[in-house]
Amino acid sequence: MIYVILTYLFSPLIYLLTAIKRKKTVSRILIIQTAKIGDLICSTPVFREVKKKYPDAHITVIANPITRELLEYNSNIDEIITVNQAGYKGFSGKLRLSDLIRRGKYDAGICLNPNIPFAIALFWGLVPIRLSVMPDFSGFTFKLASVFFTHLEKYRRGRMVIETYMHMLKAIGISSNDISKEVYKSEDADAKAEQMIGKIDKPLIGIAVSSGNKLKELGVDKIADIITMILNNMNVYIVLVGSEHEIKAADAVLQTAGKKDRIINAAGKLRLKKLPALLERLSLFIGVDTGITYMADALFIPLIDIAGPSDMKDQRPTGKNALIIQKSDLPCIPCSHTFKSPYYCKINTRGCIESVSPEEIYHAAKKLLSEHN
């Protein structure tokens, strides 16, 4: 609150300095998206449409260090700056963040993470045009700080977050309804994926072994049961997909599942910038509502999204070959939203995940694979 009060006190001076700095043309644009993998992938239409409207502008993205590799080969982005949340805590942190932004001499700032530090930093950083959204979950202090944006697009329930972002862009002359997502891979990604897959000529089904949000994860036993059913009844191979933090979970799945000779354990073996090459070789992907599911969706891979607690009206796979499994009859669904994401079940049942049986997922996989293979 103290930072917001100070900003109000000094706002006349900041408004004056910003007005002096404002130019007629937009040549340097900053986009802030420090959320995790899925949210960043779902934000790629913003990068594309901004670059399309301002092809000669220098586009900088402030991102989470975890997602940097997803941006390195994106031709719509000219510069990537990574920041940790801890880096802008406290008064000194906010000064550093605003100084970083001020030194960038940006003509416009697009904040896809509506929070107090970024609202203040863009204002203190003397960015003349400052766009963001008003989330459906926001506290009193953010509402006070939100006045420091020059344009605020209100998020409405029932409209996808990316659609809200696209409406927001109209404030800088961008009118587009194209919300198709994009992911990019490194030059050596295909060779690495080929080396991992080898000469297998059977369909490959990828399964995410875990989730960054433990509220959403299927669990080792359920994944092992799904794999066993698939391999017992379908002439396919399974690819275990996960990060280096999920190697133990993948090893546990491998120990529990049957027919290990038809399971490829890729967990922790491919960095994010190489992972798209592996996903492109899949005939089907199975995962909970997490980052790699959205990567598969961006690559038009047929997929099954076990949505669990997630609000599918906020954000969801949009590919024509995407199947969403969610128990809509549970009164607590959804409890996880784009702007408010819990990491534990408040009623301690995880019914949204536990009520989805391995058999249901298996039958969905069999149907989807037969339709698209």
**pLDDT by residue for the chain (373 residues), tens digit each?**
788 888 888 899 998 989 888 888 899 999 999 999 999 999 999 999 999 999 999 999 999 999 999 999 999 999 999 998 877 888 888 899 999 999 999 999 999 999 999 999 999 999 999 999 999 888 889 999 999 999 999 999 889 999 999 999 999 999 999 999 999 999 999 999 999 998 899 999 999 999 989 999 999 999 999 999 999 999 999 999 999 999 999 999 999 997 889 999 999 999 999 999 999 999 999 999 999 999 999 999 999 999 999 999 999 999 999 999 999 889 999 999 999 989 999 999 999 999 999 999 999 999 999 987 7
pLDDT computed for residue 60 by the predictor:
98
pLDDT value for 188: 96
CATH T-level fold of 189-372: Rossmann fold (3.40.50)
| C-alpha–C-alpha distance, residues 18 and 129, integer Å | 9
CA dist., res. 201 & res. 237, Å (int):
9
Interatomic CA distance for residues 275 and 290, integer angstroms: 15
- Pinpoint the residues of the chain covered by CATH 3.40.50.2000: 2-172, 189-372
Q: Which helix H or strand E contains 362, and what residues bound it?
A: helix 358-372
Residues in the chain: 373
Q: Cα(273)–Cα(68) distance, rounded to whole angstroms?
A: 9
As a 3-state breakdown, the chain gives helix, strand, coil percent values, each rounded to 5, of 45, 15, 40
CATH, domain 2-172, list 3.65.10.10, 3.40.50.170, 3.30.360.10, 3.40.50.2000: 3.40.50.2000
Which pLDDT belongs to residue 87?
A: 79
The 10 Å Cβ neighbour count of residue 296 is: 32
The amino acid at residue 29 is: I
Q: What's the Cα-to-Cα distance from 106 to each of 66, 83, 350, rounded to whole Å?
A: 24, 17, 45
Phi and psi at residue 323, to the nearest 5° = -115, 125
- What pTM was computed for the model? 0.94
